[in-house]
Amino acid sequence: MLKISNLHVSINNKEIIKGLNLEVKAGEVHAIMGPNGTGKSTLASVIAGREIYEITSGTIFYKGKDIQTMSIEERASEGIFLGFQYPVEIPGVSMTNFMKTAVNEQRKYRGQDPLNSTDFLALMEEKKKLVEIQSNLTNRSVNEGFSGGEKKKNEIFQMAMLDPALAILDETDSGLDIDALRVVANGVVKLRRPDNAFIIITHYQRLLDYIVPDFVHVLFEGRIVKSGRKELAMELEERGYEWLKNGNF
């Protein structure tokens, strides 16, 4: 589904990703861990197509297509979803209106008719139940005045609504209480299918207790320095990242 080869990315002439390789196949869950400031969010943004980052060399192929030929909206409509580390507030725009616009623009891209209000509201109800999100969030303006945890739950709700092929969740578990963590994790577990894939960026092993990843990667100074199975996450939790530095791998 996704194949990244020897990727180099810069912002303002500062190289942040320095030769990264990653392959994600349908049905897989990959966890990416690593210290602050090593380029995890940068990687997520680059896959989504954010223009402030410059790919200086290397390639990203998504569903067999060079991703650099696709706009942000095309990538989204082709099934790439990014759960933001810092979701953005859009004052005055209701969640319903926002999601309806998103769903229908994606449908239009795929040549489908737009959902009418009745069908759309039914879809919303169904997904709200699935991810256990309350109406008092979906009745409000997009992320406006949401608490940190509420914003993260709202990202999961949007993911459920858009039903992506490749979901990248950037620290969606940070700042969550135990219940919210379970909501977020269950959302992923329920949406997991053989034909979709997840990249989960996290600092904590606890999320991976709920969502068992197929692979765990350590991103360090712009490269994946170690990959393993779920046991690697536990090892990282115990030992930190120090042992991976100084060429210990």
Partner 1 sequence: MDKEPNDIINEVTQGDYKYGFYTDIEMEMAPRGLTEDTIRYISAKKNEPEFLLQWRLKAYHKWLEMTEPTWANIHYPPIGYQSIFYYAAPKQRKELESIDQVDPELVKTFEKLGISLEEQKRLTGVAVDAVIDSVSVKTTFSDTLAKLGIIFCSFSEAVLHHPDLIRQYMGMSVPYDDNFFATLNSAVFSDGSFCYIPKGVRCPIELSTYFRINAANTGQFERTLIIADEGSYVSYMEGCTAPRRDENQLHAAVVEIITMKDAEVKYSTVQNWYPGDKQGKGGVYNFVTKRGICKGNNSKISWTQVETGSAITWKYPSVVLMGDNTIGEFYSVAVTNNYQQADTGSKMIHLGKNTKSTIISKGISAGFSNNSYRGLVRMGKKADNSRNYSQCDSLLLGDKCGAHTFPYLKVENKNSIVEHEATTSKISEDQLFYCNQRGIWNEGAIGLIVNGYAKDVLNKLPMEFAVEAQKLLSISLEGSVG
Ligand X SMILES: Nc1ncnc2c1ncn2[C@@H]1O[C@H](COP(=O)(O)OP(=O)(O)OP(=O)(O)O)[C@@H](O)[C@H]1O
Query: In degrees to the nearest 10, what's the CA dihedral of 63, 95, 49, 51?
Result: 170
Query: In degrees to the nearest 10, what's the CA dihedral of 218, 221, 222, 224?
Result: -30
CB under 6 A: which stretch of 8-16, 21-29, 57-65, 138-146 binds ligand X?
Answer: 8-16
Binding of residue 55 to ligand X (CB under 6 A): no
What is the residue whose two structure tokens read 């578990």?
Answer: 173
Nearer to Mg ion, 161 or 176 (CB): 176
Facing residues of 239 across strands? Answer: none
Q: Which of 38, 143, 158, 202 binds ligand X (CB under 6 A)?
A: 38
Could you tell me how far CA 60 lies from the centroid of its own chain? 16
Nearer to partner 1, 88 or 178 (CB): 88
Nearer to ligand X, 12 or 246 (CB): 12
CB under 6 A: which stretch of 30-38, 110-118, 124-132, 144-152 binds ligand X?
Answer: 30-38
DSSP 145-161: T--HHHHHHHHHHHHHH
The tokens for 60 are 């990203």
Reduced to 3 states (helix: H, G, I; strand: E, B; else coil), residue 70 is coil
Give CA–CA dist 6/200, Å, rounded: 21
Q: Total binding residues for ligand X by CB under 6 A?
A: 12
Could you tell me how far CA 37 lies from the centroid of its own chain? 17
The partner in contact with residue 165, picked from partner 1, ligand X, Mg ion, none with C-beta cut-offs of 5 to 8 angstroms by kind, is none
Closest contact distance (angstroms) between CB of 121 and partner 1 is 18
* Positive/negative CA dihedral, 69, 74, 76, 80: negative
Give CA–CA dist 98/112, Å, rounded: 18
Binding of residue 205 to ligand X (CB under 6 A): no
Which residues lie near partner 1 (CB under 8 A)?
A: 48-50, 52, 71-73, 76-77, 81-82, 84, 87-88, 90-93, 97-98, 101-102, 105-106, 109, 141-142, 158, 162
The partner in contact with residue 92, picked from partner 1, ligand X, Mg ion, none with C-beta cut-offs of 5 to 8 angstroms by kind, is partner 1
Give CA–CA dist 74/117, Å, rounded: 24
Binding of residue 37 to ligand X (CB under 6 A): yes
Per-residue binder mask for Mg ion (CB under 5 A), 36-65, x = binder:
----xx------------------------
Nearer to ligand X, 15 or 214 (CB): 15
Point out which residues bind ligand X (CB under 6 A): 11-12, 16, 36-42, 52, 85
